[in-house]
Amino acid sequence: MPMEPDKEDAIGQIRDMRVFIETYGCTYNLGDTEKIKVILTSQGCEIVETADDADCILINTCIVIERTEREMRKRLEWYSGHKLFVTGCLPKIDYGCGGVVIDPDTIHSHFREAGGHPQGNPAILQVAQGCPGHCTYCITRKARGPLLSHSIDEMLRQLRGRIAQGAVEVQLTAQDLSAWGIERGETLADLIEAIKTVPGSYRIRLGMMNPDTLRPIIDSVLTSCRDDRIFSFFHIPVQSGSDRILNQMGRRYSRDDVIELIWTIRSAFPDARISTDIICGFPGETDEEFLETIDLLRAMEPEKINITRYSNRPGTPAAGWYDMPDRYKKDRSRRATAVAGEIFDRIYSSFIGQEMDLIVTEVVQEGSVTARDHAYRPVILQEALPIGSFCRAMITGHRRHYLIGKRIS
């Protein structure tokens, strides 16, 4: 049986220990782990690279789809013989999942008390938790709760701390970034404008923004993004191209709304990089409705597409609906992947021979780095360059998901 300490103090039990951490899931979870490391370091702990070197194990869990949840439970069972702590979304829906539960809602207050800031690049700035959505298939809202936007003052405090630690890429993240501030009478544009007042040569990457919450504020958001420090990158998950399926999903927008949104973005930023998500095989989806999603992808021409087969999640409205055999989902996923590949190849081939101004954001391996253009396109350079450095490169090729470049002296 799991231990049930005071939720506010569970993370406080980990003192003067060597701690091994495994993290799964989204950028938001990665942000929680960054904060946990600061907290534990302030409590005299050492973060180690292997479980064999650790006095205790901490697992930051994800449950977005059934397969991921099964993997989480396997990891917990694997480490059941260790002193084990668990946080993230799994204990929010199953408190008895194993180990000592660290309620993720308490991480932020402990982080503020610790007083430090994470190191490394990119920097993850968690601007809100929870969301105001009504998606019938999503278990994350049950785990993370309603929208809670963090104040501008707190975000600026964290941003200054990360810049002081040398971060050059700052990722704004939330379950739905464009929902930030709704319950505070503020908007994402207000937050972006405030962030722009912080000096530095860093770059800002916006996180996932749902069409439902982005549409009412799109003009002000695009205006606030007219700054060289903000990547022209827009992650807009559409999930389906069928209006009937969107309605069944609880997604409060239409196919035409998405097309208008993308047109508005590209009118302001013609070279913007669009990313999206789709779900294949939602309950009741016909083949004709799936083809509407394919048609929408062709119309949007996104440069990144996250393709997920529908996964029945307990406790959601869709859990009681007919779930089609997995072979249909797999077939649609394969077809969507093929179309995505065609789109990526066509777009990235058009960049060959062009010159780009880039900022180096990541060391891939010794002797090569990832750099980003103004729209957050990844460009691999076979050269050892320092993170944060600027350069100009000629695009010489691509590998479907990234460009290959050669620096121009």
* Domains 7-107 and 120-349 agree in fold: no
Domain at 7-107: CATH code: 3.40.50.2300
- By percentage, how much of the chain surpasses pLDDT 90? 90
Domain at 355-407: CATH code: 2.40.50.140
Fold classification of 120-349 is pyruvate-formate lyase- activating enzyme (3.80.30)
Report pTM: 0.94
Tens digit of each residue's pLDDT, the chain (409 residues) = 333 445 568 999 999 999 999 999 999 999 999 999 999 999 999 999 999 999 999 999 999 999 999 999 999 999 998 999 999 999 988 888 888 999 999 999 999 999 889 988 899 999 999 999 999 999 988 889 899 999 999 999 999 999 999 999 999 999 999 999 999 999 999 999 999 999 999 999 999 999 999 999 999 999 999 999 999 999 999 999 999 999 999 999 999 999 999 999 999 999 999 999 999 999 999 999 999 999 999 999 999 999 999 999 999 999 999 999 999 999 999 999 999 999 999 999 999 999 999 999 999 888 999 999 999 999 999 999 999 999 999 999 999 899 999 999 7
Q: What is the Cα–Cα distance from 118 to 162, expressed in whole angstroms?
A: 7
Each residue's pLDDT tens digit, 7-35: 568 999 999 999 999 999 999 999 999 99
49-74: buried (b, 16+ CB within 10 Å) or exposed (e) per residue? eeeeebebbbbbbbbbbeebbeebee
Sorted by where each begins, the domain ranges of the chain are 7-107, 120-349, 355-407
Each residue's pLDDT tens digit, 103-161: 999 999 999 999 889 988 899 999 999 999 999 999 988 889 899 999 999 999 999 99
Q: What is the DSSP letter of 120?
A: S
Burial class (CB in 10 A: 0-12, 13-18, 19+), 190: middle
Q: Which residue has the tokens 């990360």?
A: 162
